[in-house]
Structure 1
């Protein structure tokens, strides 16, 4: 069968990647996932039993290395695994798509969900869902899987939209049920489809890396493989090498430091066309290690120490993934990422809370010692009976701090009343039993208990603040307030909270409040 390519690149200049090796049962599950209609109708058409199709969508995507059904449909068409008739699709007809719909289709076949499509296009998720449906209808189909299939067969998007390593060809591929006729295509593999050995499958090679930070919370970033690229120190695994061993080897090569000890697994990142990336934690670098950082200038370039806020502007290629890893470290969990984005975003991801960068701390003067000068502001450790504390995040400024605010001239002699007034207005809390524990610079610090969290009432032009429940140690890592180890110890002793509470996911407080 003759195939035509609508590009200036000769079709014979490339061959398809190896076809996934699916047996009859795998093809049946894939067909069930791609077919439209009711579950009963699809079971009848595939001849499968109900027990055979448990988790069919996830299994079908896993068989092809796809993230979504739209991408699975595109890969099915690319590898000629099933004909259009077999998946209940009429012969696709090339359609003229607007630039917006073509962009949405490229993101769909690239494996992005509607949430991430909305983020890429700068629209609401509901608008992204509507745009994807309009794009499918413009192709003459009704499902995302069929839209992905039609995108390849009609040449609506370049093949590189599916996998970055594929060429940027937009080649309509008209399918035939007979493998013999397909094998005569100029775009078909010249040899029988078979997967090469894992050691030579560079597109699926796993990577391992280490999150290295200094004592101030700055992140160590090294040069990537491409011009202007940047990444955490790491690289691909060698045969029979474990991810932690590979992470250590690459990190020591990139930094010239020795005896690095990767800790717990912080994140696993999945992306189309590549293997997983494992990111491991590491204790903060010592001052001596930071001072002696060198680089292998022939390969990696000079490592840089960047604050979390600087990552966005100075290392944009890897910023969102590194920030997700930093947030996972704060919450003591292992994040599952897709394209560098959390598959199940936590509160810190949703509200884009950045871990703070340590600065020179204000001098801590505990209660009982002489403090020169009046207090100009007040902040408090608002504690719950379970040992968690309330922190205040302002989405408008991106600042996270202990609840509090500036004092008026008449507040210095009644800090408890001033704290109650400020907290009621800013975080909807009326603290009880406030006790002064000391001063951080000119800011008075108190400890109080919280019987309940009331509703937040914002003005018509005021953004709603975010209240988060964290452990005391997590509050130190997130809040911009200068908190010294001595203050943390005094706060825990006054509140009678045990040190070293297990880290846990940060909990957002609903705007309508919370009681316990």
Structure 2
């Protein structure tokens, strides 16, 4: 449970299994308890005061220290303790035998790094009126990027239904779309985010004058949607879409390196000025909602980038926005 003093300091108690470390007041669930009941009992046992429990601030999927078993760790909001109540468990800012209050910037001197991250997430969640979801003490990269850049949750219509093929598109199969994996020199891939928080690779519908030429369509669409120039896009493959109640179509994927980046400008098709992001390629499928079925496509794109002399970045590399003036990337 997160409890803060009148001056904003965080209440910590001595760790039961690591005496030189301090943690938030906590306990393990016992049979028949809910997490809320455990929090109330655990705090009462540790500090001798019974809290009035608030909302869930943090849910963290983690592992037992030194063991193979995974499980959920919850942090509830215990609110702000009064000066009178605080005096019963120790003087704020000073150590007692079992508890202390510490300033946020001093937490690393007392708590383990993972606990510091969890406490920081709980404080931010309390301030923003939400629940923070963590995995192994950290915000998942996809969720962090969605929150930072205003990407909305959603379900991709073809995430699991489209099948990947690397051979040429059969002559009898209409080519509906061409999308491009556009690689920056550092190996990250360009995606755009529209005004509604929808995200995707740049690309779009082939026009009649493009005569089943996905390379030409991808050059045009990338320029219109992201103001980025690409040259000589390379064919990766296509997604076979058996449209319910309609005719099957091919949705082609190309790959290319950035040749030039212009200032952000309205997409002539929609009038929207898109946000342009750079994403590690192995994060792309999850961020766009394609699912694990995109693994082969991702592998093909990374292999093509490597052939272009572009090294794959760390999957944990940050998602970043291309400046509106287009500078600083090339």
* Alignment match, 1:430: 229
Q: Where does residue 8 of structure 2 map in the other structure?
A: 65
Residue 349 of structure 1 is matched in structure 2 by 147
Matched residue count: 242
Of 190, 204, 208, 1:405 maps to 204
Superposed counterparts of 1:223-372, under 5 Å: 225=36, 260-261=69-70, 272-273=79-80, 320-322=130-132, 328-330=139-141, 348-354=146-152, 359-368=159-168, 370=170
Residue ranges of structure 2 left out of the alignment (5+ in a row)? 16-22, 29-33, 47-57, 82-100, 102-114, 120-127, 241-249
**TM-score normalised by the chain length of structure 2:** 0.56
1:89-100 correspondence to structure 2 within 5 Å: none
Shift of 1:474: 1.3
| Structure 2 residue matching 1:473: 3-state secondary structure | helix
Structure 1 alignment gaps of length 5 or more: 1-18, 21-62, 68-194, 210-222, 227-233, 250-257, 281-317, 333-345
C-alpha change, 1:454 and 1:196, in structure 2 (3 Å) is closer
Give the match for residue 50 of structure 2. none
User: 3-state SS of the aligned residue for 2:175?
Assistant: coil
Displacement of 1:225: 4.4
| Alpha-carbon separation, structure 1, partners of 2:154 and 2:299 | 20
User: Structure 1 or 2: larger strand share?
Assistant: 2
Q: Secondary structure at the match of 1:449?
A: strand
- Give RMSD over aligned pairs: 5.0
**Residue 511 (structure 1) aligned with residue 324 (structure 2):** yes
Higher relative contact order (CA 8 A, sep 6+): 2
Mapping for residues 105-116 of structure 1, pairs under 5 Å: none
Please give the alpha-carbon distance, in whole angstroms, between the structure 1 residues aligned to 2:60 and 2:145.
32
Given the alignment of the two structures, is residue 444 of structure 1 paired with residue 243 of structure 2, yes or no?
Answer: no
**Does the Cα contact within 8 Å between 1:269 and 1:277 map onto a contact in 2?**
no
Alpha-carbon distance in 2 for matches of 1:449, 1:197: 53
How far residue 349 of structure 1 moved from its aligned partner, in angstroms, is 2.4
Q: Which has the higher helix share?
A: 1
- Scaled by the length of structure 1, what TM-score is found? 0.38
Q: String of CA shifts for 1:168-227, please: whole Å, max 9, x gaps.
A: xxxxxxxxxxxxxxxxxxxxxxxxxxx99879xxxx944699xxxxxxxxxxxxx8749x
- Pair 1:487-2:286 in alignment: no
Match of 1:394 in 2: 194
Deviation of 1:269 after TM superposition, in Å, equals 9.6
Q: How does 1:25-40 map to 2 (within 5 A)?
A: none
Residue 491 of structure 1 aligns to a residue whose secondary structure is helix
Q: Look at both structures and tell me which one has the larger radius of gyration over its CA atoms.
A: 1
Q: Is the 8 A contact 1:388 1:471 kept in 2?
A: yes
Alignment partners' CA distance in 2, 1:248 and 1:208: 15
Change (3 A) 1:420 1:260: same
Deviation (angstroms), 1:350: 3.2
* Aligned equivalents of 2:59, 2:149: Cα separation in 1: 31
- Partner Cα distance (1:424, 1:390) in 2: 12
